[in-house]
């Protein structure tokens, strides 16, 4: 197992493997995304209270889930880079930040669009909304550090420290609706007893969640490949790769 991890952490091996995986993740993402949108927009029945306006949930909820998931990936890989100095872990962490920021922004925007007809306002300083906004600022801080510091290894260390400090915000976001009295509704899918959401709505929601994860994997691998080429541009294998492309 350790030998496989060592092999996978090799930039050259990662570049080759990721190139093979990207089309599979991409096409699978597209298929599941279309299925989720079809079931969410045309098959799932209107909500008895919110009518058709609830359908924004199929974008909002998976985006919010992804904002937390990607941050944890970024923090964990950042910690691996700090402790074991694995370049590929630093690449994954840096490449995840813009994607996570995009999902966080999408969650905030769709939440505002959903909140206006439900709450009568675009924004309230609700515990869940405020902590999600802080998460966006954390993402932007990591992106800023990676862009502002010229040396990649130094930038990776600085941004990883910030990402690890920001991990404390993740449980606050998740449990905010239980710890404080908020306008945001409580958990419906991740309840321990049973999801309080009808199966006809749960299936497209889970399909969209899977599609968003596949999208993240696809874009992450694409961004990471570019970052690997940039960091390894002076190595022999990258120069041979560039020569082979020029020959074509």
* pLDDT tens per residue, range 67-115: 999 999 999 999 999 999 999 999 999 999 999 999 999 999 999 998 8
Mean model confidence pLDDT for the chain: 90
Region 32-39: what's the mean pLDDT?
97
Give the pLDDT score at 121. Answer: 85
Domain ranges within the chain, ordered by starting residue: 56-229
Give the pLDDT score at 122. Answer: 84
3-state SS of the chain? Answer: CHHHHHHHCCHHHHHHHHHHHHHHHHHHHHHHHHHHHHHHHHHCCCECCCEHHHHHHHHHHHHHHHHHHHHHHHHHHHHHHHHHCCHHHHHHHHHHHHHHHHHHHHHHHHHHHHHHHHHCCCCCCCHHHHHHHHHHHHHHHHHHHHHHCCCHHHHHHHHHHHHHHHCCHHHHHHHHHHHCCCCCCCCCCCCCCCCCCCHHHHHHHHHHHHHHHHHHHHHHHHHHHHHHHHHCCCCHHHHHHHHHHHHC
Give CA–CA dist 163/174, Å, rounded. Answer: 17
Give the pLDDT score at 188. Answer: 60
Region 126-147: what's the mean pLDDT?
95
Residue 165 reports pLDDT greater than 90: yes
Specify the pTM: 0.93
Give the pLDDT score at 3. Answer: 59
- Is residue 162 within 8 Å of residue 142, measured between CB atoms? yes
b/e sequence 213-242, b meaning 16+ C-beta within 10 Å: bbbbbbbbbbbbbebbeebbeeeeebeebe
Going by pLDDT thresholds of 50, 70 and 90, the confidence category of residue 4 is low
Give the pLDDT score at 192. Answer: 42
Residue 56 reports pLDDT greater than 80: yes
């Amino acid at each position: 197992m350790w030998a496989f991890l060592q092999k996978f952490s090799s930039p050259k091996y990662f570049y080759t493997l990721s190139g093979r995986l990207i089309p599979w993740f991409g096409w699978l993402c597209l298929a599941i995304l279309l299925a989720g949108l079809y079931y969410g927009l045309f098959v799932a029945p209107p909500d008895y209270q919110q009518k058709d306006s609830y359908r924004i949930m199929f974008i909002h909820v998976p985006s919010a889930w992804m904002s937390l998931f990607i941050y944890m990936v970024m923090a964990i890989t950042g910690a691996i880079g700090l402790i074991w100095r694995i370049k590929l872990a630093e690449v994954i962490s840096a490449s995840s930040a813009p994607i996570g920021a995009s999902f966080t922004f999408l969650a905030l925007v769709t939440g505002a669009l959903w909140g206006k007809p439900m709450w009568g306002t675009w924004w309230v300083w609700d515990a869940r909304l405020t902590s999600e906004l802080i998460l966006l600022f954390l993402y932007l801080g990591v992106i800023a550090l990676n862009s502002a510091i010229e040396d990649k290894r130094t930038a990776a260390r600085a941004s990883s420290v910030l990402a690890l400090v920001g991990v404390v915000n993740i449980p606050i976001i998740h449990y905010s609706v239980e710890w404080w009295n908020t306008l945001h509704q409580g958990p419906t899918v991740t309840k321990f007893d049973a999801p309080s959401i009808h199966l006809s709505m749960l299936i497209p929601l889970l399909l969209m969640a899977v599609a968003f994860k596949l999208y993240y994997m696809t874009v992450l691998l694409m961004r990471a490949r570019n970052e690997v080429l940039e960091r390894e541009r002076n190595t022999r294998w990258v120069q041979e790769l560039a020569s082979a492309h020029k020959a074509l």
